[in-house]
């Protein structure tokens, strides 16, 4: 039985059941395996949390992680860095993006994405999204033409996979380099092929709320030797690049070692130690996430006015969060629904909120990006809600969450200002 609070009984529509309350944390991160913690402690006790050593025989945890990530993604090269945001920046720099240059990126993404473009002193040009939260291919084509951009930094925002083969084809036709931001798609596939392997570069995150958790961390994968060598040097390898775990040959570094700046964006060896035992767990975690996702998706579809985002059957996604639209309430009613849910332990994020809150922001709230109007995108974001799916959720948790949402919606609709004309 879900726990309840007696004071939630409302006298208006009596007799009423006490309202459900969800009492577990909504944002449980993936657990860091004990073996990872033990190895990280060993590194700390030996005073060696740094990936490089002057001992040329030294094989760091970070180098081992790089080899494992290259094998996992099936890419030739993998470089571990300090965050996904920095991995995006390094990818842009390695592609030779110059100050002032236009870079295409999704209008629906997280702030570190336009932030990475700004970090490279380039100019974000926003591409709209569809109702499925994927890239609007017509808008992409139009923006490629009008902007003259050479690079598309494409987010698989909240794990929604666009038709990646179509995006890659369109980019190739116009000689646009594709960078995939896979912060929420490590372990996901489109049409059988791993996310992060459709473009020139794939970038992943190891920040606490993503699919592997070291607190902070990012990864760049590529098959391009010149990009890999530059990212390694720029990440801050000094001339110790031979200590990398999935790197190009020395001859490639000869082209770059004396002309490439060091931006010091290294992953710590302790972070790598925490991450290594997580990779083998990822498919088991994905099964748990997706079982909860399917339960929530089916339940949301039965609640009046709530519609889970439709997904392409070719997506093998990782359901670490779920998105849905609210179709029967004005903005004040959506705000009330969110308050009602939060008061009963279920935390929702809203892409239509007036101001950026917490992790959530909308493209027109990035004041450093040239203003653009994307009406179709706005129409989606205005009604779009987002909920984290913790890997720890079981069937009973999902049922309680759905009850809370159903009751919150009923309460929001009861509020006089939110009554919709039938
Ligand atoms: C989290 C996230 C990032 C940035 O990852 P960090 O490791 O926190 O820098 C980039 N893009 C998307 C879509 C994200 O969700």
Mean pLDDT, to the nearest integer, of 357-386? 94
Ligand 1 neighbours (beta carbon < 6 A):
83-85, 109-110, 112-113, 155, 157, 181, 183-184, 205, 207, 210, 218
Question: What is the structure's pLDDT at 57?
Answer: 81
Which residue of 153, 207, 321, 362 sits with most ligand 1 atoms within 8 Å of its CB, as the best mutation to test the pocket?
207
Question: What is the structure's pLDDT at 418?
Answer: 62
412: Cβ–Cβ under 8 A, 6 or more apart, which residues? 329, 333, 334, 336, 337, 340, 418
CA of 215 to the centre of ligand 1 (A): 12
Does 4 score more than 60 pLDDT?
A: no
CA dist 59 → 55, 159, 230 (Å): 9, 33, 21
Does 16 score more than 80 pLDDT?
A: no
CB 123 within 8 A of CB 242: no
- Give the helix ranges, DSSP H, for 174-275: 225-236, 250-256, 269-275
Mean pLDDT, to the nearest integer, of 15-27? 88
Q: How far is CA 121 from the centre of its chain?
A: 23
Residue 156 CA: which ligand 1 atom is closest?
A: 13
Which residue of 81, 90, 110 sits with most ligand 1 atoms within 8 Å of its CB, as the best mutation to test the pocket?
110
Mean pLDDT, to the nearest integer, of 238-251? 97
Residue 184 CA: which ligand 1 atom is closest?
A: 15
Partnered with residue 178 across adjacent β-strands are: 152
Closest residue to atom 6 of ligand 1, CA basis: 84
Q: Per residue in 77-89, pLDDT tens? A: 999 999 999 999 9
- Rounded CA-CA distance 358/19 in Å is 27
Question: What is the structure's pLDDT at 13?
Answer: 54
Mean pLDDT, to the nearest integer, of 333-361? 95
Mean pLDDT, to the nearest integer, of 396-407? 98
Q: Per residue in 180-206, pLDDT tens? A: 999 999 999 999 999 999 999 999 999
Q: How many CB atoms lie within 10 A of CB 203?
A: 31
pLDDT bin (cut points 50, 70, 90) of residue 58 is confident
Residue 181 CA: which ligand 1 atom is closest?
A: 11
CA of 154 to the centre of ligand 1 (A): 12
Question: What is the structure's pLDDT at 419?
Answer: 58
Residue 155 CA: which ligand 1 atom is closest?
A: 13
**SS3 of 388, please?**
strand
- Rounded CA-CA distance 190/157 in Å is 14
**Average pLDDT of the chain, as a whole number:** 94
CA of 116 to the centre of ligand 1 (A): 10
Does 421 score more than 50 pLDDT?
A: no
CA of 189 to the centre of ligand 1 (A): 18
Kindly report the CA angle at 270 between 267 and 272, in degrees rounded to 5?
A: 60
């Amino acid at each position: 039985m879900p726990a309840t609070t007696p004071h939630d009984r409302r006298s208006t529509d009596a007799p009423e059941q006490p309202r459900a309350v969800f009492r577990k944390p909504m944002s449980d991160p993936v657990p860091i395996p004990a073996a990872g913690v033990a190895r990280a402690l060993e590194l700390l006790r030996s005073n060696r949390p740094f990936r490089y050593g002057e001992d040329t025989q030294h094989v760091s945890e970070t180098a081992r992680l790089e080899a494992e990530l290259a094998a996992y993604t099936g890419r030739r090269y993998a470089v571990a860095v300090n965050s996904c945001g920095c991995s995006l920046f390094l990818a842009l720099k390695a592609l030779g993006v110059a100050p002032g240059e236009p870079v295409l990126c999704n209008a629906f993404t997280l702030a570190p994405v336009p932030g990475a473009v700004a970090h490279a002193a380039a100019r974000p040009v926003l591409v709209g999204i569809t109702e499925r939260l994927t890239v609007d291919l017509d808008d992409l084509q139009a923006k490629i033409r009008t902007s003259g951009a050479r690079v598309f930094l494409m987010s698989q925002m909240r794990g929604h996979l666009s038709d990646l083969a179509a995006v890659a084809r369109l980019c190739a036709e116009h000689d646009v380099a594709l960078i995939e931001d896979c912060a929420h798609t490590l372990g996901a596939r489109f049409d059988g092929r791993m996310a992060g392997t459709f473009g020139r570069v794939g970038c992943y995150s190891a920040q606490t709320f993503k699919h592997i958790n070291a607190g902070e961390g990012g990864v760049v994968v590529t098959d391009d030797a010149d990009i890999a060598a530059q990212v390694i040097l720029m990440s801050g390898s000094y001339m110790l690049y031979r200590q990398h775990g999935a790197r190009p040959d020395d001859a490639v570094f000869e082209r770059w070692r004396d002309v490439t700046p060091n931006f010091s964006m290294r992953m710590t060896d302790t972070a790598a130690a925490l991450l290594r035992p997580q990779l083998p767990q990822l498919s088991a975690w994905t099964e748990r996430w997706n079982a909860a996702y399917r339960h929530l998706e089916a339940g949301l579809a039965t609640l009046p006015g709530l519609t889970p985002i439709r997904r392409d059957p070719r997506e093998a996604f990782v359901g670490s969060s779920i998105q849905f639209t609210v179709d029967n309430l004005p903005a004040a009613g959506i705000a009330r629904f969110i308050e009602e849910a939060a008061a009963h332990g279920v935390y929702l994020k809203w892409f239509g909120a007036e101001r950026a809150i917490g992790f959530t922001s909308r493209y027109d709230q990035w004041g450093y990006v040239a203003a653009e109007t994307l009406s179709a995108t706005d129409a989606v974001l205005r009604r779009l809600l987002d909920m984290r799916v913790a890997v720890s959720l079981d069937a009973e948790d999902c049922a309680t969450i759905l009850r809370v949402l159903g009751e919150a919606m009923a309460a929001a609709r009861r509020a006089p200002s939110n009554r919709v004309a039938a």
